[in-house]
C-alpha cells in the first residue's frame, strides 16, 4: 500500500504547503508570533546596537538606554527595561537574562559578542525564521506528543514527555557540523549497560589509526581489542604484531572493539533504537562540554547529561517496575556488559527546530547550527523569484509523499515563451523542456533542501514499499526520479539516510 499521494500546485508560487493541516495551539501561537514580528519589521524594525566593550552588570554605558529600547521594541514583557538610565542595573540585567535564556545563550546577564549578535537579529529575520520552521513543521511527519523522547538538535536538549507533559529534561551533545546527527523517528526498545564500542571503519581510518601510528601503546592503554575481520568468531590479534604503518587506510579490514570502562566513549549506558544510521543516545565519560552553550561535538550520536535518570524513567514509564535507579546502578557497578529490554517501546524523535513555543507558551529561538534554515530559505526565495515568470500560470507540480518523484502538468496548450510542451511516455515518465526544465531543476533542488532541512517523508506506518533507497515502484505509474542529494537519500521511518552510515559516538 502506498501512502496518500500529496499534490502540490505550486503555480510557481511560494506556497509549499500540502493540504491545509489542522493546527494545534503551539502552531497557532507560532503563526501569531510570525505576524507580530512581521508587523514590527513593517513599522521600521529596531536599530542595530554597537558596543565597543563587553557590558557587565552594574556598569555604566551610554548605549544602555538603546539596549532598553531594543528589548521593549521586541516585547512589552521586558517591563524592567522601561527606564532612561545609562546604568546597567539589576532590573535590566533580569530582562537580558530572560532574553539570553530564550535564545539558548548562557543567562549570565553579560552582554558580549554572542548576546549582541542575537540582539542585532532584525524582526524581519525573526519573522522569516519562524516562517521557515512553520514550513518544516507542515512537512514533517507527526511526532508522538503524548509520550516519548525528543531531541531538538539546535536546542542541544533531550526531553522525555509523558501524557503530554515534560517529565525529564537534560542537556545533550549532538553531532559536529561535518558529522551531523540525523533527523529520524524510531522507538527505543532496550538499554545496554557497560557497552562495548565497535569502532566504525570510517572513524578507524580518520581518528584511531593516526593515534596508533603516533603511540604504539594506544590500543592497550584504551583497552581496545583487535580482531582479524568483522566476521563472528574472528580470531583476536596481538596489536603489536600488526604492521599498522604499512596498511593502506582504505584496506583496513580489522575490527577494533573497545571494552567497557572509564575510557569507553559510550560511557555506562546506551539507548538502542532501530535506524539506518547506527546512531543512538548514550552516556559519555566527558562531562565538561555539557556546560557550553553550543554543543556540536559528537560524531553523530546524542550524548546525554544524566543517562541514568533517563534509563530509570524509561524503565518505569508504563508503571512501577523492579528496575529502580538503585537496581540499574548495581548493573552498572558490576562492570559487565548486559541488555535490559524495556517493558514498552518508547518513541524517540530527533528533530530540528530553531523557532518554537515551549511548554510555558514562551517563544524560543536557536541558532541554525547545521545551516538547514538558510538552505530552505534560499529554496523558498527561488520559488518566489519564479512566481512572476512567463508561463508560470496554470503550471502544477505534483510531488509524492517521499518527495522523490516529480510530475509536471499543464492546464492548457503550450504557452509561447514560457512552458513549451509536456511529453508523457506510455510508462508515465514525464519529460519536460523549456521553462518547465527550470521548474524541474528547482523542484529537484527543493527536494534536496527539504531532505537536508529536517523534512521527514512517510514512514513504515505509511506502508512505503521501497525498491532500494530512494526508489519505489508505483502501482499504476512510473515517474522519473529526481537527482538524489550526494549526501542524503530518502529512507524509511521518516529518516534521511546517509550513504555511509556509521556507528559514531
In this predicted structure, what is the pLDDT of residue 143? 66
Domain 148-351, classified CATH 2.40.440.10, yes or no: yes
- Cell readout for 54 is 563587553
Structure letter (DSSP) for residue 343: E
Strand partners, 422: 432
In this predicted structure, what is the pLDDT of residue 403? 33
- Cell readout for 374 is 538558510
Query: Could you tell me the pLDDT band of residue 82, with boundaries at 50, 70 and 90?
Result: low
Cβ-defined contacts of 60-66 (< 8 Å, 24+) = 60/86, 60/87, 60/88, 61/86, 61/88, 62/86, 64/88, 64/92
**Tell me: the pLDDT tens digits for 140-168?**
776 666 789 999 999 999 999 998 889 99
CA distances from 13 to 8, 133, 416 (A): 11, 18, 20
Cβ-defined contacts of 333-339 (< 8 Å, 24+) = 334/194, 335/194, 335/260, 335/261, 336/193, 336/194, 336/260, 337/192, 337/193, 337/194, 337/195, 337/196, 337/260, 338/192, 338/193, 338/194, 339/190, 339/191, 339/192, 339/193
Query: Could you tell me the pLDDT band of residue 477, with boundaries at 50, 70 and 90?
Result: very low
Write phi, then psi, for 297 (nearest 5 degrees). Answer: -130, -15
Q: How far apart are CA 54 and CA 50, in angstroms?
A: 11
In this predicted structure, what is the pLDDT of residue 253? 85
Q: pLDDT at residue 472 above 70?
A: no
CATH 1.10.101.10 positions along the chain are 46-121
Q: How far apart are CA 497 and CA 468, in angstroms?
A: 12
Q: pLDDT at residue 305 above 80?
A: yes
Handedness of CA 462, 368, 159, 338 (dihedral sign): positive
CATH 2.40.440.10 positions along the chain are 148-351
Choice among 95-99, 180-184, 202-206, 389-393 with the minimum mean pLDDT: 389-393
Helices 372-385 and 123-139: crossing angle in degrees, nearest 10, is 90
Q: How far apart are CA 484 and CA 403, in angstroms?
A: 11
Helix-, strand-, coil-residue percentages of the chain, each rounded to 5: 30, 25, 45
Query: Could you tell me the pLDDT band of residue 464, with boundaries at 50, 70 and 90?
Result: very low
- What is the pLDDT of the chain when averaged over all its residues? 75
Q: Is 467 exposed, middle or buried (0-12, 13-18, 19+ CB in 10 A)?
A: exposed
**Tell me: the pLDDT tens digits for 239-264?**
999 988 888 877 778 899 999 998 89
CA dihedral of 357, 359, 360, 363, whole degrees rounded to 10: -10
> Across residues 320-337, what is the average pLDDT?
90
Asked if residue 254 lies in contact with residue 167, where contact means CB atoms within 8 angstroms, the answer is no
Q: Which CATH code is given to the segment(s) 46-121?
A: 1.10.101.10
In this predicted structure, what is the pLDDT of residue 377? 87
**Tell me: the pLDDT tens digits for 21-33?**
344 556 888 999 9
In this predicted structure, what is the pLDDT of residue 465? 27
In this predicted structure, what is the pLDDT of residue 502? 41
| Residue located via cell numbers 532584525 | 122
Amino acid at each position: 500500500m502506498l501512502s496518500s499521494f500529496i499534490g502540490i500546485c505550486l503555480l510557481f508560487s511560494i506556497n509549499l504547503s500540502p493540504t491545509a493541516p489542522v493546527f494545534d495551539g503551539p502552531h497557532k501561537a507560532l503563526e501569531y508570533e510570525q505576524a507580530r514580528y512581521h508587523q514590527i519589521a513593517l513599522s521600521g524594525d529596531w536599530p542595530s546596537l554597537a558596543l565597543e566593550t563587553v557590558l557587565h552588570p552594574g556598569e555604566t554605558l551610554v548605549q544602555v538606554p538603546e539596549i532598553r529600547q531594543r528589548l521593549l521594541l521586541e516585547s512589552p514583557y521586558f517591563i524592567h527595561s522601561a527606564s532612561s538610565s545609562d546604568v546597567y542595573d539589576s532590573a535590566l540585567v533580569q530582562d537580558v537574562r530572560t532574553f539570553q535564556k530564550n535564545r539558548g545563550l548562557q543567562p549570565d546577564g553579560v552582554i558580549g559578542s554572542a548576546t549582541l549578535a542575537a540582539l542585532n537579529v532584525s524582526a524581519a529575520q525573526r519573522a522569516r525564521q519562524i516562517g521557515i520552521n512553520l514550513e518544516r513543521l507542515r512537512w514533517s511527519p507527526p511526532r508522538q506528543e503524548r509520550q516519548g523522547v525528543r531531541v531538538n538538535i539546535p536546542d542541544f536538549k533531550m526531553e522525555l514527555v509523558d501524557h503530554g507533559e515534560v517529565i525529564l529534561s537534560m542537556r545533550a551533545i549532538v553531532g559536529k557540523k561535518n558529522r551531523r546527527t540525523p533527523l529520524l523517528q524510531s522507538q527505543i526498545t532496550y538499554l545496554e549497560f557497560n557497552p562495548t564500542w565497535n569502532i566504525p571503519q570510517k572513524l578507524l581510518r580518520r581518528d584511531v589509526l593516526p593515534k596508533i601510528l603516533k603511540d604504539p601503546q594506544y590500543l592497550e592503554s584504551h583497552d581496545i581489542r583487535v580482531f582479524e575481520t568483522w566476521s563472528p568468531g574472528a580470531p583476536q590479534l596481538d596489536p603489536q604484531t600488526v604492521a599498522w604503518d604499512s596498511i593502506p587506510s582504505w584496506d583496513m579490514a580489522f575490527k577494533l572493539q573497545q571494552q567497557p570502562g572509564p575510557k569507553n566513549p559510550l560511557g555506562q549506558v546506551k539507548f538502542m533504537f532501530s535506524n539506518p544510521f547506527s546512531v543512538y543516545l548514550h552516556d559519555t565519560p566527558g562531562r565538561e562540554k555539557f556546560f557550553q552553550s553550543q554543543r556540536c561535538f559528537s560524531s553523530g550520536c546524542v550524548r546525554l547529561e544524566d543517562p541514568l535518570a533517563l534509563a530509570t524513567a524509561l524503565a518505569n514509564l508504563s508503571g512501577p517496575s523492579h528496575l529502580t535507579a538503585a537496581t540499574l546502578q548495581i548493573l552498572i557497578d558490576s562492570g559487565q556488559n548486559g541488555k535490559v529490554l524495556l517493558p514498552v517501546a518508547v518513541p524517540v524523535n530527533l528533530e530540528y527546530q530553531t523557532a518554537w513555543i515551549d511548554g510555558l507558551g514562551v517563544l524560543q529561538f536557536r541558532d541554525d547550527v547545521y545551516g538547514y534554515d538558510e538552505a530552505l530559505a534560499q529554496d523558498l526565495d527561488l520559488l518566489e523569484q519564479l512566481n512572476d515568470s512567463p508561463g508560470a500560470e496554470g503550471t502544477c507540480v505534483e510531488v509524492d509523499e517521499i518527495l522523490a518523484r516529480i510530475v509536471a502538468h499543464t492546464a492548457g496548450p503550450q504557452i509561447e515563451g514560457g512552458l513549451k510542451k509536456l511529453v508523457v511516455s506510455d510508462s508515465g515518465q514525464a519529460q519536460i523542456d523549456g521553462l518547465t526544465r527550470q521548474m524541474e531543476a528547482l523542484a529537484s533542488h527543493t527536494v534536496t533542501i527539504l531532505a537536508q532541512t529536517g523534512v521527514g517523508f512517510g514512514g513504515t506506518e505509511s506502508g512505503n514499499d521501497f525498491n532500494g533507497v530512494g526508489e519505489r515502484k508505483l502501482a499504476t505509474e512510473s515517474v522519473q526520479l529526481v537527482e538524489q542529494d550526494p549526501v542524503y537519500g530518502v529512507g524509511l521511518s521518516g529518516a534521511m539516510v546517509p550513504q555511509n552510515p556509521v556507528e559514531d559516538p
